[in-house]
Amino acid sequence: MDKIDLEKMNKNKNKAEINDDDDLYLEFRPRQHLFTNNLNYDIALKYEIHRAEGLDNPNSYPLVNNRIYSAESWIEPDEEKIQTNRVWGLPNPVWDEECCVKLNRFWDVKFLHVEVLRHGSWSEPGTSDGIVCVGRVRIPLPEELYASKGGSVHEADQV
């Protein structure tokens, strides 16, 4: 073999090493900062749910002085939903809870979905369990690891 053939062979060998299927950094280039070569790591999204504002107009129900709310959040519709504790609050419930969800297909994750639920609303039409969605928001997730985004539920976002 001459020198040129050896250089080509070494170049092709290096390309094969770079394109190795186990190298997640290059397999998903757009979000390579989210990956690690160690396949034993799990990637998770950590976020906080602080409060919701202006959910129910107290003037609409003058005899009601308090209501029970919880917030439910998820990444994928078919995945497990995370629910906060139930709290009393009218019209602005406060949770101040930290949540963490494992991301199974984290390269596809685009949004965090949050719904605020009112409990004990037996007179609401269409509910058989007394739980009514009174607000929802879809928060776009950041492209970079450790970046942060925020979102909130306002009257305009109500169902």
pLDDT of 29-74, one tens digit each? Answer: 344 444 555 556 677 788 899 999 888 777 877 788 788 999 999 9
Q: What is the average pLDDT value for the chain, to the nearest integer?
A: 73
Q: Is the pLDDT of residue 25 over 60?
A: no
pTM: 0.64
Residue 75 lies in a domain: yes
Domain containing 128: what range? 44-140
What pLDDT does residue 22 have?
43
User: What is the mean predicted confidence (pLDDT) over 79-104?
Assistant: 88
Number of domains the chain is built from: 1
Of 159, 156, 157, 155, which is closest to residue 57 (Cα–Cα)? 155
Q: Please give the backbone phi and psi of residue 156, each rounded to the nearest 5 degrees, phi first.
A: -65, -25
Q: How many helices (H) and strands (E) would you count in the chain?
A: 2, 7
User: Which stretch of 127-131, 134-138, 147-151 has the lowest confidence by average pLDDT?
Assistant: 147-151
Residue 157 lies in a domain: no
Q: Which two tokens stand for residue 76?
A: 């994928």
Count of CA atoms in the C-beta half-sphere (13 A) of 57: 5
Of 121, 126, 109, 127, which is closest to residue 73 (Cα–Cα)? 109
Q: What is the largest CA-CA distance in the chain?
A: 93
Residue 20 lies in a domain: no
Position with higher pLDDT, 60 vs 8: 60
Residue 54 lies in a domain: yes
Residue 98 lies in a domain: yes
Q: Which residue has the tokens 């709310």?
A: 69
**58 contacts 91 by C-beta, under 8 angstroms:** yes
Q: Is the pLDDT of residue 154 over 50?
A: no
Q: Is the pLDDT of residue 138 over 80?
A: yes
Residue 106 lies in a domain: yes
What pLDDT does residue 7 have?
58
Residue 78 lies in a domain: yes
Q: Which CATH number do you get for residue 73?
A: 2.60.40.150
Residue 86 lies in a domain: yes
Q: Is the pLDDT of residue 120 over 70?
A: yes
